[in-house]
Structure 1
Amino acid sequence: MEWIGALKVAIKYMEKHLLENINADEVADSVYMSPFYLQKGFKIMTGYSIGEYIRCRRLYMAALDVLADKEKIIELAYKYGYDTPESFTKAFSRFQGVSPKQIKGDAKKIRTFLPLKINVSIKGGNDMDYVVEKMNKMKVIGYERDFSYEAAYQEIPKFWSEFCDSCTNGKDSEDKQKAIEECSIGEFGICIEDDDKQNGFHYMIAGKYNGINVPEGMKLYEIPTLEWAKFKCTGPMPGALQSVNTQIFKEWLPGNPDYEIAAGMNIEWYSKGNSNSFDYESEIWIPVKKK
């Protein structure tokens, strides 16, 4: 399904099932798309994760119900997916800025959150610096950590800082340091869809595996044979990479006549050198297939 069309259908699905116990996997199934890329793209395009969007819509609808004063708080709590009136009131107050009691009789206090409408202006997506190449399967080794879609942009740079600090200050064991050096761990940052996690994904700081013993605390992963669209980034990290990532979803994917996403993963490639430099080079690799 075309990217913008998929987002619109996903929003319609969420609106139709707003009061049901739906999750990101079900939303992704409705548009025949990888949950990883739907959530990643939805966050970039709208500023909200799928979970945040559903929560905000429910709490806005709940505010309208509070204003109508036809149902008790305990009934509204269960209606909008909360286990207790207390948890509902806490979430309601955090979102609206006032308690349900304070909002009764005063519509001006309601924070409006209407269904999103996706409109995209294509601005040079075809001019992005990229190539499409086939890569045979590749084994990688490195450190892995789980991240939520909501916090990934803030937390992944911290993961890298911890890794760099550990390498620089010699905090790793001898076998880990050997693996880091021989396998160039840090050359790749790899996002991998997790079938068991609805709101998160695996992220690896990795390098090409050369057959050495895998130190405790490190993991192996095999990337399958795929075609990859490789986008060049120039500038200091993480801003340059995040900027191109946003450009991919807002400019390259919408209306792309040739390619669509092929798998639930992506790879960040990092060159050697000063990552804070204005001319630092990196790349984002997206698995694609011909339409």
Structure 2
Amino acid sequence: MEWLDRMAKAISLIESRMEGKTDIEELAREAYSSPFHFQRMFHMLTGFTVAEYIRRRKLTLAAQELASTSSKVVDIALKYGYESPESFAKAFRKAHGISPTDARERGIPLKAFPRLSFHLSLKGAQDMDYRIIDRPAVRTIGVKIATTTTDGQNSREIPRFWQQAHSDGTIGKLVEACPGKELLGICGDMDLANERFDYWIAAENDDRPADEQWKEFTIPAATWAVFPSIGPMPHAIQDVWRRIFEEWFPSTGYEHAAGPELEVYPDGDTTSPDYRCEVWVPIVKKQI
């Protein structure tokens, strides 16, 4: 497929710039997409961000150079974009479990993070239901945490956030404050270049002002692709997210509109095989 070729070209460009700075906008142009869509696709398809991939690849190449050459540690650090030997040593130890100096010793085990490649995987035909809707801005209230995609930290922190909100009564109070409204999980203020975003547990509310208990978040007006998820949480909705980026985006004329993403949770037994919720993704037509 065409999108596979584009992603492969972007990876080749990344690999050619390992000794310098990598510009996200240039990578996105190589993939014929917006910077936000490229970064979001990359993360959903690979499980790590562009920045994390580049960091791991540089530390792999640096380890190989330390083990096979007599180049100074400071020179290798600067070559791969680290401002000081200290910052390089800290990142190197986190990646390999040893110091850069130790990497020169014969027989020392090192970790290799290989270059990515994208391949088409043919699967059994399975319809993917969705609808496209336009919606004006919506005001919500709720609670939030700041999290990061680095090392998959968000995948651990968000479930804990929901568990805490249930156990400390926050969910019950939010339902009372927003009667008749569905609970929302919102990924907002996404800063993909720095691997950070805010995650909200919220509900629509036009009347209640923000206060010490509730903060306010406005979901902007947008065109949305809405996908149903049917099955027990969290596996059913995780599968929907995977298919959106692996199957739906590559096969349509749309890309991510760089706005917040929503999960809409109606009341019900979330462990039931019949539980139905939705994923909302903001979209725009591709500009090619």
> Which string of whole-angstrom CA distances, capped at 9 and with x for unpartnered residues, describes residues 84-115 of structure 1?
43543443344335554454375894433332
- CA displacement at 1:139 relative to structure 2: 1.7
Give TM-score, length-normalised by structure 2.
Answer: 0.82
Q: Is the CA contact (8 Å cut-off) linking 1:34 and 1:264 kept in structure 2?
A: no
Q: In the alignment, which residue of structure 2 is the partner of 1:69?
A: 69
Q: Any residues of structure 2 matched to 1:24-39 within 5 Å, and which?
A: 27=27, 32-35=33-36, 37-39=37-39
Q: In 2 relative to 1, CA 290–124 (structure 1 residues): closer, same or farther, beyond 3 Å?
A: farther
Q: In 2 relative to 1, CA 125–42 (structure 1 residues): closer, same or farther, beyond 3 Å?
A: farther
| Bigger Cα displacement from structure 2, 16-25 vs 49-58 | 16-25
1:279 pairs, out of 274, 277, 282, with 274
C-alpha separation between the residues in 2 aligned to 1:192 and 1:135?
A: 17
Letter in 2 for 1:182: P
Q: Is the CA contact (8 Å cut-off) linking 2:140 and 2:218 kept in structure 1?
A: yes
Q: In 2 relative to 1, CA 30–149 (structure 1 residues): closer, same or farther, beyond 3 Å?
A: farther
Give TM-score, length-normalised by structure 1.
Answer: 0.81
- CA displacement at 1:240 relative to structure 2: 1.6
- CA displacement at 1:290 relative to structure 2: 3.4
Q: In 2 relative to 1, CA 119–107 (structure 1 residues): closer, same or farther, beyond 3 Å?
A: farther
Q: In 2 relative to 1, CA 201–88 (structure 1 residues): closer, same or farther, beyond 3 Å?
A: same
Q: Secondary structure at the match of 1:215?
A: coil
Q: Is the CA contact (8 Å cut-off) linking 1:122 and 1:251 kept in structure 2?
A: no
Q: Is the CA contact (8 Å cut-off) linking 1:10 and 1:27 kept in structure 2?
A: yes
C-alpha separation between the residues in 1 aligned to 2:137 and 2:124?
A: 32
Q: Is the CA contact (8 Å cut-off) linking 1:21 and 1:81 kept in structure 2?
A: yes
- CA displacement at 1:7 relative to structure 2: 3.2
Q: In the alignment, which residue of structure 2 is the partner of 1:224?
A: 220
Q: Secondary structure at the match of 2:168?
A: helix
Letter in 2 for 1:287: P
- CA displacement at 1:62 relative to structure 2: 0.7
Q: Is the CA contact (8 Å cut-off) linking 2:223 and 2:283 kept in structure 1?
A: yes
- CA displacement at 1:18 relative to structure 2: 2.1
Q: Secondary structure at the match of 1:188?
A: strand
- CA displacement at 1:231 relative to structure 2: 1.0
Q: Is the CA contact (8 Å cut-off) linking 1:265 and 1:287 kept in structure 2?
A: yes
Q: In 2 relative to 1, CA 122–192 (structure 1 residues): closer, same or farther, beyond 3 Å?
A: farther
2:202 pairs, out of 201, 206, 225, with 206
C-alpha separation between the residues in 2 aligned to 1:81 and 1:12?
A: 19
Letter in 2 for 1:117: S
1:268 aligns with 2:263: yes
Q: Is the CA contact (8 Å cut-off) linking 1:25 and 1:198 kept in structure 2?
A: no
Q: Secondary structure at the match of 1:253?
A: helix
Q: Secondary structure at the match of 1:282?
A: strand
Identity %: 34
- CA displacement at 1:237 relative to structure 2: 1.8
Q: Is the CA contact (8 Å cut-off) linking 1:67 and 1:107 kept in structure 2?
A: no
Q: Secondary structure at the match of 1:140?
A: strand
The number of aligned residues is: 282
Q: Is the CA contact (8 Å cut-off) linking 2:140 and 2:217 kept in structure 1?
A: yes
Q: In 2 relative to 1, CA 198–86 (structure 1 residues): closer, same or farther, beyond 3 Å?
A: closer
Letter in 1 for 2:282: P
- CA displacement at 1:200 relative to structure 2: 0.9
Q: Is the CA contact (8 Å cut-off) linking 2:49 and 2:192 kept in structure 1?
A: no
C-alpha separation between the residues in 2 aligned to 1:6 and 1:193?
A: 27
C-alpha separation between the residues in 2 aligned to 1:125 and 1:217?
A: 47
Unmatched segments (≥5 aa) in structure 1? none
Q: Secondary structure at the match of 2:169?
A: helix
Letter in 2 for 1:154: R
Q: Secondary structure at the match of 1:133?
A: strand
Letter in 2 for 1:187: L
Q: In the alignment, which residue of structure 1 is the partner of 2:46?
A: 46
C-alpha separation between the residues in 2 aligned to 1:154 and 1:237?
A: 15
Q: Report the aligned-residue RMSD.
A: 3.1
Q: Secondary structure at the match of 2:197?
A: strand
Q: Is the CA contact (8 Å cut-off) linking 2:51 and 2:193 kept in structure 1?
A: no
